[in-house]
Amino acid sequence: MTNTARMILGSAIAWLSLGFNYPLHAQVATPPATSSAAMDRDLLEVTIPRLEQMYRAHKYTVTQVVNWYIARIRKYNGVYGAIENLDLKGALATAAREDADARAGGSHYGRGPMWGVPIVIKENTSVKGLVTSDGWQGYRISGRELIAPRDATIVRRFRVAGAVILGKTNMPDFAASDTNRSSAYGRTGNAYDVRFSPGGSSGGTVTAVAANFALLGNGTDTGNSIRMPAATSALVGVFPTRGLVSIAGIAPLDWLLDNTGPIARDVTDAAIALSVMAGDNLGDDSMDQETVGSAAKAQPGPYAQYLKPDALKGKRFGVPAFILAGAGIPFQGIPAAEDTTKAAAAREASRVPLRPETRAAFMRAVEALRAAGATVVFDDSILPDSFAETISHIGTMPYVREGTDNFLAHYGPPQYHSAREYEQLFGSPLPETIIGGAKVTPNDPRSPVTQVQFEDNPQAEADVLVPRQRALDVYDATLDRLHLDGYVYPAIQMPPVDETMPQDDTISSGPHSDTGWVNMVGVPAVVVPGGWYSNGLPFGLEISARKWKDGDLLGWAYAFEQATHFRKPPVLVDKGLLSIER
């Protein structure tokens, strides 16, 4: 058995013996008497509008609803491993306060757009007073804990809107994996079959939402990490236009590519959540310059106004040829100074062929799009391999450490506020994944790069700004030339993978996608349930649009959802241990 396998097995055993970081049974309040079969029927797959109706009708209190979710987490999380840190005290305190405010306010009490909505937050997102593990055990070592001194901007926005934060979701170390295994907590399983991967790095949020551990949650996405996991689990995952939603307070993997957005069970809930999340840094623009002035560029919210059942009628979508061909785009791109031979080798090493069963599922989804009134265009000139090559030259690796230092300066614990201070204090550096200086993978043909400040580096324009604009120009020009509204393509190049079986003679690191280019140009994209594989696992369809057309994009996703109704809840098991012996 390999070391990795031992780590997963040890983590799995730990789940069953502990469930959480501390004994869960000692935290959970006794469920109220109203936690009955009727309550299960009301709350399983509940939406924000339906929950609001029940609150207004005084059918349930917020405390009752929160306790229902807590009980469900307690029952199933030991198997699925989605929730790393349950904030029982905080969740119940918020619920009690909202119930008291509603009683005091009477019929004139004004509720926020997410009042009483139980949500989860990904482990790289700062929640004041909780550890931001970022999936890494090092941030949880006694004396080194990265305890958030304040909330991330999106968390502040969720709180103002009335959301109840249940806890934080598992993720791979530093969000740097397409599967969901972490040194901080272990493995997360797919809600539709725990043996299979939910994808990464937002797999914890995805499994929590799919399994009805929460109504929705946030994901983060540096190369596919909202969209690919959502596709494995019949969910809606939104990658907003970069700059629409602040990433301040989110531990970065690569701040020039990172984004955050909602993961929900339907488009309406995702639109409501995006309306809450969107906007600048609430007065602290130094944390995220991308959001400055975003309101003037974006379609105005709330985004539910764009949700029309006939939104696909007359719309035209192109299928990117390079995705069907599996053309490779190296994660974080290729810096301008890289040797051309190594650059070509990196592109070849990044190829991800489209599996036949995924191509077949995609073609079925295309027929569903056409049935809903859209035209789907296949043409070899639509974003061909040359587009993939162009976008590969957006090279962000030299600037990784700057993002980590900026995050620690504002959201680090009192003991350290930079990577240098961490190393001086504890005698060992932070991992190179987040401070640079190493290859992305051991077999990466690209050379390690020296870390520099983006703002002070004359090479930054050639590394990032010029190739980014060049790629965006090609993206937009293709839309103009063929009179297209957007692009449509598989969210993943393969089905969710069985992690009890070797994949290419090794423990799976997938599934994998060919969609990291979206981060590199910053356009919006959304994943919706697009059908099912023959083994009962979901297929996800991805749609992208022009920058700042997030409302239109959600409208198309809604129309597809209403025309197909592919989403169905998983059937969970409350016992079982994933066998990973080889």
The active-site residue, picked from 122, 315, 547, 549, is 122
Q: Residue 6: phi, psi to the nearest 5?
A: -60, -40
- Those residues whose C-beta lies under 8 Å from the C-beta of residue 103, and which sit 6 or more positions away, are none
Dihedral over alpha carbons 172, 577, 218, 36 (to 10 degrees): -170
The catalytic residue among 133, 177, 182, 225 is: 225
Q: Which two tokens stand for residue 387?
A: 């587009």
Residue 18: CB atoms within 10 Å: 12
Helix/strand/coil (H, E, C) string of 264-310? ECCHHHHHHHHHHHEECCCCCHHHCHHHCCHHHHCCCCCHHHHCCCC
The residues, ordered by sequence, that sit 6+ positions from 537 with a Cβ below 8 Å of its Cβ are 190, 192, 193, 196, 232, 495, 496
Residues 6+ apart with CB under 8 A from 33: none
| End-to-end Cα spacing for the chain | 6
Handedness of CA 210, 213, 215, 219 (dihedral sign): negative
Query: Is residue 386 annotated as a catalytic residue, yes or no?
Result: no
Q: Which residue has the tokens 């504002």?
A: 410
Residue 177 backbone class (left: φ over 0; alpha: ψ -120 to 50; beta: rest): beta
State the Rg of the chain over Cα.
22
Q: Is 122 a catalytic residue?
A: yes
Quote the CA–CA distance of 274 and 301 in Å, as a whole number. Answer: 9
Q: Is 332 left (phi over 0), alpha (psi -120 to 50) or beta?
A: left
Choice among 183, 197, 201, 508 that is catalytic: 201
- SS3 state at 16: helix
286 in active site = no
Hunting for tokens 């307690």 — which residue is that? 74
Containing H/E element for 7? Answer: helix 3-18
Catalytic residues: 122, 201, 225
